[in-house]
Amino acid sequence: MDSSWEDLTLAFSRTSMFPFFDIAHYLVSVMALKHRPGAVEGAWKNPFSSWFTAMLHCFGGGILSCILLAEPPLRFFANHTNVLLASSIWYIIFFCPWDLISQGYSFLPVQLLAAGMKEVTRTWKIIGGITHANSYYKNGWLVMIAIGWAQGAGGIIITNFEQLLKGDWKPEGNEWLKMSYPSKVTLLGSLIFTFQHTKHLTISKHNLMFLYTIFLVTTKITMMITETSSVTLAPFEDILSRMLFGWQHQFSLCEKKCGAKSSSNGTGSSVSKPITDGSDDVKRKHSKKTE
Amino acid sequence: MDSSWEDLTLAFSRTSMFPFFDIAHYLVSVMALKHRPGAVEGAWKNPFSSWFTAMLHCFGGGILSCILLAEPPLRFFANHTNVLLASSIWYIIFFCPWDLISQGYSFLPVQLLAAGMKEVTRTWKIIGGITHANSYYKNGWLVMIAIGWAQGAGGIIITNFEQLLKGDWKPEGNEWLKMSYPSKVTLLGSLIFTFQHTKHLTISKHNLMFLYTIFLVTTKITMMITETSSVTLAPFEDILSRMLFGWQHQFSLCEKKCGAKSSSNGTGSSVSKPITDGSDDVKRKHSKKTE
Amino acid sequence: MDSSWEDLTLAFSRTSMFPFFDIAHYLVSVMALKHRPGAVEGAWKNPFSSWFTAMLHCFGGGILSCILLAEPPLRFFANHTNVLLASSIWYIIFFCPWDLISQGYSFLPVQLLAAGMKEVTRTWKIIGGITHANSYYKNGWLVMIAIGWAQGAGGIIITNFEQLLKGDWKPEGNEWLKMSYPSKVTLLGSLIFTFQHTKHLTISKHNLMFLYTIFLVTTKITMMITETSSVTLAPFEDILSRMLFGWQHQFSLCEKKCGAKSSSNGTGSSVSKPITDGSDDVKRKHSKKTE
What pLDDT, on the 0 to 100 scale, is given for residue C80?
92
Neighbours of B164 (CB within 10 A): 18
Average of per-residue pLDDT across A157-178: 68
Q: Of B151-155, B246-250, C194-198, which range is least confident?
A: B246-250
Instruction: Point out the residue among A35, A73, A98 whose CB comes nearest to the CB of B68.
Output: A73
CA distance C223 to C246: 29
Q: Test C38 with A173 for CB contact under 8 angstroms.
A: yes
Which amino acid, one-letter code, is at A227? E
- The pLDDT tens digits of the residues spanning C82-92 come to 999 999 999 99
Give contacts of B 233-272 with A, CB under 8 A. Answer: 241, 244-245, 247-248, 251-252, 255, 262, 265-267, 270-271
Q: Of A195-204, B163-172, B240-249, C213-222, which range is least confident?
A: B163-172
Check: complex ipTM more than 0.90: no
- The pLDDT tens digits of the residues spanning C23-82 come to 999 999 999 999 888 888 888 888 888 899 899 999 999 999 999 999 999 988 899 999
**pLDDT over 60 (residue A84):** yes
Cβ of A179 under 8 Å from any chain C Cβ?
A: yes
Which amino acid, one-letter code, is at A84? L
Instruction: Note whether B40 and C270 are within 8 A (CB).
Output: yes
**pLDDT over 50 (residue B273):** no
What pLDDT, on the 0 to 100 scale, is given for residue A290?
39
Q: Test A97 with B161 for CB contact under 8 angstroms.
A: no
Give the mutation candidate from B30, B44, B101, B107 for the C interface (greatest C CB count, under 10 A): B44
Average of per-residue pLDDT across C276-283: 40
Cβ of B219 under 8 Å from any chain C Cβ?
A: no
Spell B218-235 as b/e; 16+ CB within 10 A means b.
Answer: ebbbebeeeeeeeebeee
Q: Test B40 with C265 for CB contact under 8 angstroms.
A: no
Using a CB-CB cut-off of 8 Å, the residues of chain B touching A83 are 142
Give contacts of B 269-288 with A, CB under 8 A. Answer: 270-271, 273-274, 277-278, 281
Our CA-based measurement puts residue B177 at a distance from the nearest CA of chain C, in whole angstroms, of 20
Contacts of C118 (CB under 8 A, 6+ apart): C21, C24, C25, C28, C29
Contacts of A214 (CB under 8 A, 6+ apart): none
CA distance B99 to B93: 7
Helix B108-136 / helix B47-68 crossing angle, nearest 10 deg: 40
CA distance A116 to B8: 62
Which amino acid, one-letter code, is at A72? P
Our CA-based measurement puts residue C8 at a distance from the nearest CA of chain A, in whole angstroms, of 37
Q: Test B41 with C277 for CB contact under 8 angstroms.
A: yes
Cβ of A71 under 8 Å from any chain B Cβ?
A: yes
Q: Test B255 with A48 for CB contact under 8 angstroms.
A: no
Give the mutation candidate from B177, B179, B248, B273 for the A interface (greatest A CB count, under 10 A): B177
Average of per-residue pLDDT across A119-140: 92
CA distance C193 to C141: 10
Tell me the range of B38-42, C103-107, C142-146 where mean pLDDT is highest. C142-146
**pLDDT over 60 (residue C237):** yes
Helix B205-226 / helix B181-197 crossing angle, nearest 10 deg: 170
Which amino acid, one-letter code, is at B104? G
Neighbours of C91 (CB within 10 A): 17
A103 vs A274, higher pLDDT = A103
How far from A163 is each of A30, A144, A167, C62, C234, CA to CA, in Å? 15, 28, 6, 28, 42
Q: Test A278 with C44 for CB contact under 8 angstroms.
A: yes
Instruction: Point out the residue among C42, C44, C72 whose CB comes nearest to the CB of A68.
Output: C72
- Chain C CA closest to residue B82: C142
Using a CB-CB cut-off of 8 Å, the residues of chain A touching C98 are 251, 255, 262, 271
The 3-state secondary structure of B159-187, one letter per residue: HHHHHHHHCCCCCCCCCCCCCCHHHHHHH
The percent of chain B in helix, strand and coil, each rounded to the nearest 5, is 80, 0, 20
Cβ of A49 under 8 Å from any chain B Cβ?
A: yes
Average of per-residue pLDDT across A105-117: 92
Instruction: Point out the residue among B48, B78, B166 whose CB comes nearest to the CB of C179.
Output: B48
Instruction: Point out the residue among C40, C66, C98 whose CB comes nearest to the CB of A262.
Output: C98
Average of per-residue pLDDT across B229-239: 73
Instruction: Point out the residue among C146, C241, C273 whose CB comes nearest to the CB of B74.
Output: C146
**pLDDT over 70 (residue A5):** yes
Instruction: Kindly indicate the confidence band of residue C291, based on its pLDDT and cuts at 50, 70 and 90.
Output: very low
Q: Test A42 with B137 for CB contact under 8 angstroms.
A: no
Q: Test B70 with C69 for CB contact under 8 angstroms.
A: no
Instruction: Note whether C112 and C224 are within 8 A (CB).
Output: yes
Contacts of B277 (CB under 8 A, 6+ apart): A41, A44
What is chain A's Cα-based Rg? 23
- The pLDDT tens digits of the residues spanning B147-194 come to 999 999 888 888 878 877 776 666 654 455 567 888 888 999 999 999
Using a CB-CB cut-off of 8 Å, the residues of chain C touching B35 are 270
- Chain B CA closest to residue A97: B248
Q: Of A175-184, C166-175, C231-240, which range is least confident?
A: C166-175
Average of per-residue pLDDT across B10-15: 91
Q: Test A266 with C38 for CB contact under 8 angstroms.
A: no
Which amino acid, one-letter code, is at B183? S
Average of per-residue pLDDT across B7-21: 91
Q: Give which of A83, C176, A200, A263 is closest to B52, Cα–Cα.
A: C176
Query: What letter does residue A1 receive in the DSSP assignment?
Result: -
Q: Test C45 with A262 for CB contact under 8 angstroms.
A: no
How far from C185 is each of C210, C230, C232, CA to CA, in Å? 15, 9, 10
For chain A, the maximum distance between any two Cα atoms, rounded to a whole number of angstroms, is 71
**pLDDT over 50 (residue C200):** yes
Our CA-based measurement puts residue B119 at a distance from the nearest CA of chain C, in whole angstroms, of 25
Contacts of C229 (CB under 8 A, 6+ apart): C181, C223
Query: What letter does residue B203 receive in the DSSP assignment?
Result: S
CA distance A43 to C259: 57
Q: Give which of C162, C220, C225, C183 is closest to C28, Cα–Cα.
A: C220
Q: What is the mean pLDDT of chain B?
A: 81
**pLDDT over 60 (residue C274):** no
- With 0-12 CB in 10 A as exposed, 13-18 as middle and 19+ as buried, what is A225? exposed
Instruction: Note whether C143 and B74 are within 8 A (CB).
Output: yes
Q: Give which of A98, C121, A10, C273 is closest to B45, Cα–Cα.
A: C273
Contacts of B50 (CB under 8 A, 6+ apart): B39, B42, B43, B90, B94
What pLDDT, on the 0 to 100 scale, is given for residue A286?
43
What pLDDT, on the 0 to 100 scale, is given for residue B264?
40
What pLDDT, on the 0 to 100 scale, is given for residue C250?
57
Contacts of A108 (CB under 8 A, 6+ apart): A224, A225
Q: Test A175 with C166 for CB contact under 8 angstroms.
A: yes
Q: Of A37-46, A147-156, B75-84, B167-176, which range is least confident?
A: B167-176
Average of per-residue pLDDT across B2-22: 90
* Subunits close to B (at least 3 CB pairs below 8 A): A, C
CA distance A230 to B159: 40
Our CA-based measurement puts residue C255 at a distance from the nearest CA of chain A, in whole angstroms, of 44
CA distance C135 to A72: 21
Average of per-residue pLDDT across A205-227: 91
Contacts of B157 (CB under 8 A, 6+ apart): B60, B64, B150
What pLDDT, on the 0 to 100 scale, is given for residue B256?
55
**pLDDT over 60 (residue A73):** yes
Q: Would you mind telling me the total number of residues written for chain A in this entry?
A: 291
Q: Which long-range contacts (CB under 8 A, 24 or more apart) does C87-92 make?
A: C87/C51, C87/C54, C87/C55, C89/C23, C89/C26, C89/C27, C89/C30, C90/C26, C90/C30, C90/C50, C90/C51, C90/C54, C90/C55
Cβ of B104 under 8 Å from any chain C Cβ?
A: no
- With 0-12 CB in 10 A as exposed, 13-18 as middle and 19+ as buried, what is B144? buried
Cβ of C48 under 8 Å from any chain A Cβ?
A: yes
Q: Of A10-19, A67-76, A245-254, B101-110, which range is least confident?
A: A245-254
Using a CB-CB cut-off of 8 Å, the residues of chain A touching C47 are 241, 244-245
Contacts of C267 (CB under 8 A, 6+ apart): B99, B102, B103, B106
CA distance A237 to C154: 35
Using a CB-CB cut-off of 8 Å, the residues of chain C touching B78 are 137, 140, 142-143
Instruction: Note whether B216 and B121 are within 8 A (CB).
Output: no
What pLDDT, on the 0 to 100 scale, is given for residue A227?
81
Instruction: Note whether B194 and B145 are within 8 A (CB).
Output: yes
CB-hemisphere CA count at 13 Å for A107? 7
DSSP string, A34-47: HTSTTHHHHHHH-H
What pLDDT, on the 0 to 100 scale, is given for residue A255?
53
Using a CB-CB cut-off of 8 Å, the residues of chain A touching C97 are 247-248, 251-252, 255
Contacts of C129 (CB under 8 A, 6+ apart): C61, C65, C144, C147, C148, C149, C150, C151, C152, C190
Contacts of C93 (CB under 8 A, 6+ apart): C27, C30, C31, C34, C101, C102
* Percentage of residues of chain A with pLDDT beyond 90: 45
Cα B233 to the center of its chain, rounded Å: 13
**pLDDT over 50 (residue B271):** no
**3-state DSSP assignment of residue A204:** coil
Q: Test B68 with A71 for CB contact under 8 angstroms.
A: no
Helix A181-197 / helix A141-166 crossing angle, nearest 10 deg: 160
